[in-house]
Structure 1
Amino acid sequence: MLLENKYYQIDNIENTTSGGIFHIRLIQDCDVYKGHFPGNPICPGVCNIETIKECAMHLANKNLYISTIQKCRLTAVATPHECPEMDIIINIQSSDNGFTVTAKIKDLVKTYMEFKGFMTV
């Protein structure tokens, strides 16, 4: 299931020489937050990973699947109320079998996740 326009919405994409910066807004009344956790919602790590994958799909202009996660570090807890707007900074390099993707999820104050992995078509 794609999370775009259900869990988050892309406000703007800045292209960079090695990828892009996605300015996103979390959808605060998303059903995910009603179950994770009611009254004190937080962004699930699996949704952060999926958001990174979907942003990489925009850059690659292909459907991608995560083949290998080499690094996935949750460095802070993100909540839709405390940080409703975040940046997904993606570097993507194509190879023979897919794409190497490195990414960070952050706002002006904190970095919430660091990711490095390989995605295939």
Structure 2
Amino acid sequence: MLNTLVDLGYVSRIPESKRFSLTLKILNLGFHAIAHTDLRSLVRPVLRGLVSETSEAASFAVLQGADVLYLERVRAGITRLGVDIRIGTTVPACQTAIGQSILAFLSEQEVARIEARSSATPFISKRSRD
């Protein structure tokens, strides 16, 4: 199977070892899966409603490790701050409003576990959560 993945360009061999690594082409598989998920069709009407009420962009994302993965986004028309987040984008959870909203509802132990996996800083301090 690995040889097939190498031939297709999704995996590359690490020279002088028996190891392999993923190539950037593997992202195509992930983006394709995201684009065809039924979840997107469920959240799109909700996001459109939010956009019409607030005149601001609305996004749906999930926590993936220490990052948030954007699964759907509805723009408000004119981008005011030049923020263009595309479906499939991952951003450290602590650096986005949607990520911080997700983190706010997790236990302190879970936030600490996610913080340990992240190379991004800063996380919300314990004092600011009290």
TM-score between the two structures when normalised by the length of structure 1: 0.29
Considering fraction of residues, name the structure with more helix. Answer: 2
Structure of higher RCO (CA pairs closer than 8 Å, 6+ residues apart) = 1
TM-score between the two structures when normalised by the length of structure 2: 0.27
Looking at CA atoms only, which structure, 1 or 2, has the larger radius of gyration?
2
Considering fraction of residues, name the structure with more strand. Answer: 1
